[in-house]
């Protein structure tokens, strides 16, 4: 993975149920590369995928239940790159694939084809999902795609099976970023703000986008 730089303020906005989209200072045209397609691929039902995706659009989740089928959300992020206020804008389609849709191999495979970044999600309560994820990764991910693994619901300490050592080993085995997410259901006080663990996910996705030209 490419080296990261220190970032400051991050803002996110998007469209969920036809709500207004975009940030007021967003450029009319993308700065480079058009729209990035990011697929969120869960390895278990009811692990917070839809909540996470809608949070990354700057919205309070409109439905606490998992989505059905495959749902796409437009998002725009602004990331402050340095102390003088240089801002990087990125435009996205975030694809929320429901766990039930994964059983339809054609539907799932089609969604993966356009993805620049694939986010694989497993719950902290089920350590067996680690090996399942590794096997799936080895059989499905293309060389041109970047992958991020998200361990969800890490605030559930009492039921956690996946330990920090497992996170480190998984990252080393696949040579990918592994992000632990908790509190995605907590509404930030500031508009466009993010829970700290979702900030880590935003930066991991941004670091794995194609190089600027």
| Residues forming beta bridges with residue 79, ordered by sequence position | 10, 88
Any domain includes 2? no
| 184 close to 198: Cβ distance less than 8 angstroms | yes
Any domain includes 129? yes
CA atoms within 13 A on the CB side of 81: 8
CB burial string 132-141: b at 16+ within 10 A, e below: ebeeebeeeb
Could you tell me what percent of the chain has a pLDDT over 90?
31
Nearest to 47 by CA among 121, 131, 141: 121
Lowest mean pLDDT across 133-137, 142-146, 164-168, 169-173: 142-146
Any domain includes 3? no
* Residue 111 pLDDT: 74
Q: What is the pTM of this model?
A: 0.84
The domain total for the chain is: 1
Any domain includes 213? no
Any domain includes 187? yes
The CATH number that applies at residue 35 is 3.40.50.300
Any domain includes 22? yes
* Residue 191 pLDDT: 63
Any domain includes 4? no
| Residue, of 145 and 190, whose pLDDT is higher | 145
Say whether pLDDT at 195 is over 60: yes
Range of the domain at 90: 10-207
Nearest-angstrom CA–CA distance, 159 and 153: 10
| Residue, of 63 and 84, whose pLDDT is higher | 84
* Residue 3 pLDDT: 38
* Residue 33 pLDDT: 57
Any domain includes 5? no
* Residue 78 pLDDT: 83
Nearest-angstrom CA–CA distance, 193 and 24: 15
Nearest-angstrom CA–CA distance, 96 and 207: 20
């Amino acid at each position: 993975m490419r080296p990261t730089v220190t970032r400051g303020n991050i803002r996110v906005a998007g469209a969920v149920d036809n709500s207004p989209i975009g940030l007021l200072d967003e450029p009319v045209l993308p700065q480079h590369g058009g729209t990035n397609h990011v697929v969120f691929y869960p390895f278990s039902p009811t692990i917070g995928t839809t909540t996470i995706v809608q949070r990354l659009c700057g919205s309070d989740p409109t439905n606490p239940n998992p989505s059905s089928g495959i749902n796409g959300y437009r998002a725009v992020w602004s990331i402050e790159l340095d102390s003088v206020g240089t801002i990087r804008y990125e435009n996205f389609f975030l694809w929320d694939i429901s766990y039930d849709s994964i059983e339809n191999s054609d539907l799932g495979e089609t969604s993966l084809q356009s993805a620049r970044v694939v986010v694989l999600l497993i719950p902290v309560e089920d350590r067996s999902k680690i090996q399942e994820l590794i096997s799936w990764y080895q059989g499905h991910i293309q060389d041109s795609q970047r992958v991020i693994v998200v361990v969800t619901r890490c605030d559930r300490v009492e039921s956690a099976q996946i330990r920090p050592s497992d996170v480190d080993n998984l990252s080393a085995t696949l040579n990918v970023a592994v992000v632990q997410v908790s509190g995605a259901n907590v509404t930030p006080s500031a508009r466009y703000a993010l829970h700290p663990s979702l900030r880590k996910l935003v930066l991991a996705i941004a670091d794995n986008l194609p190089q600027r030209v």
